[in-house]
Every structure is written in C-alpha cells, then in structure tokens.
Amino acid sequence: MRLEYAVGDYVWIDKNHNGIQDEDEEPLEGVTVVLYDGDGNELDRTVTDENGRYLFDNLPRGEYQVGFELTEAQAAKYQFTKYTAGDDTAVDSNAGEQARSAVFTLGPENEFLVSNEEYDHGTVTASEGIDPTWDAGVVLLSERETPVDPTGPTGEPTEAPSDPEDPAGPGSDTSDDNDGELPLTGAGLALILTAAGLLLLLAGGTLYARHRKGSEA
C-alpha cells in the first residue's frame, strides 16, 4: 500500500497587516495555488474556494512547494502580507519570494500532519492525513502606503521652510532686540555712509571758503 499525503490550506485578507490569521478577517476566493516539487517543477494547480481554502490530495511522499498567484484584478488591489510572522506556523503567511513557500517534506517526519478527521475545512482521502499549514495573506495596496507624518520623525512639529526674502528666517522678531533700535542692515549701512560722505563734503567746502576769504583779505 502506497502512503499518501495532502497539503493545504488557506488564503485570507490580512486586515490589520500583522501577517497572522485573526478571527475577524475574511477569506479570499479565486486565488490560484500551484503545487511544485522540490526542484520547482509544476505538478498541479487549483483555485481557492469561497472560504479561501485549497487542497492537494493523495500525494506521494516527497518534497514540495506551493506558490500563490493573484488574478490581474486581485493584483491591482492586493499584495502579499508579512512572511512567516509570529511563532505559530498554523496561522502565518508562507507567500515568500515569488509568492512561493519554502520547500517542505510530506512524509512521516512532517510534524504538522493532522488526521483527516481532525481537518475541519474539507474532505481529505490521503491515507496519512494533511499538512494544513501552507497559507497566504494579502493586504490592500492602498493601506500599505506610508502616510506622511506631519510631526516629523522626533514627534516635534516640523519647522516651516525659510523665506528667501527674509534673511532673519521664519519666526524672527527684532522688535525687542538692540533696545528697540532697528538692526543695522546692508541698506541702513549704505545710508549712513552716504550721509557721512555728504557731511565731509560740506565740511570741506566750508574750510575752502574760509581759506579763500582769508587770502583775499
């Protein structure tokens, strides 16, 4: 008698993005699941039912791998969730690189095998039971986008950009600086130098006039 095994079992919508199957989360129907051998050669394919379940039954002992393929419509809406999150293999997601699981063995050494009677999500006929731990979760693409944080990475409000027309920068206040006097800007300095130049010219003219008057006397 040849020993036979089965593998399954679930694709779900990971509503809270934690990579773990929670009780209030919904299944995803219509996802194609592909069965590969240990070398990556395709052996069979099926589609998840209305309960998000799939099953490959009556398989000989050996190494296998499962892959998950979203339809075009599903791929426009979802992407796969975190890979093998948590420490319970029964409720995590196994859609890893290229949406495939790791290679696993169906045989007596498989610690995750359960009997047909223990499996509550379909009829299994394989003589040695089913490994029901190969699942995949998806999340909405729109919900995976990281929102902009208006407070900045430190939690402090972000500073407004500097005004290029204001050399003092945003929020500067010169009304209380220099004992109420206006700050000495480039324009103010130019005005002072111009006034000083005019005073020097005026003083020079006065001295010249006095000198000339003395000479005539």
For the segment 43-59, what is each residue's pLDDT rounded down to a tens digit? 999 999 999 999 999 99
Check pLDDT > 90 for residue 7: yes
Q: What is the CATH number of the domain that holds 18?
A: 2.60.40.10
97, 84 contact by CB (below 8 A): no
Query: What's the pLDDT at 46?
Result: 98
The backbone torsions φ and ψ at residue 124, rounded to the nearest 5 degrees and listed phi first, read -115, 135
Alpha-carbon distance of 25 to 21, in angstroms, equals 7
135 and 200 co-located in one domain: no
Query: What's the pLDDT at 149?
Result: 41
| Structural domain contains residue 162 | no
Please say which residue of 123, 144, 165 terminates a domain.
Answer: 144
The number of helix segments (H) and strand segments (E) in the chain equals 3, 8
Chain center to CA of 212: 88
Query: What's the pLDDT at 142?
Result: 84
Q: What is the DSSP letter of 178?
A: G
Check pLDDT > 80 for residue 193: no
| Structural domain contains residue 61 | yes
Domain that holds residue 130: 4-144
Alpha-carbon distance of 64 to 180, in angstroms, equals 82
State percent of the chain over pLDDT 70: 65
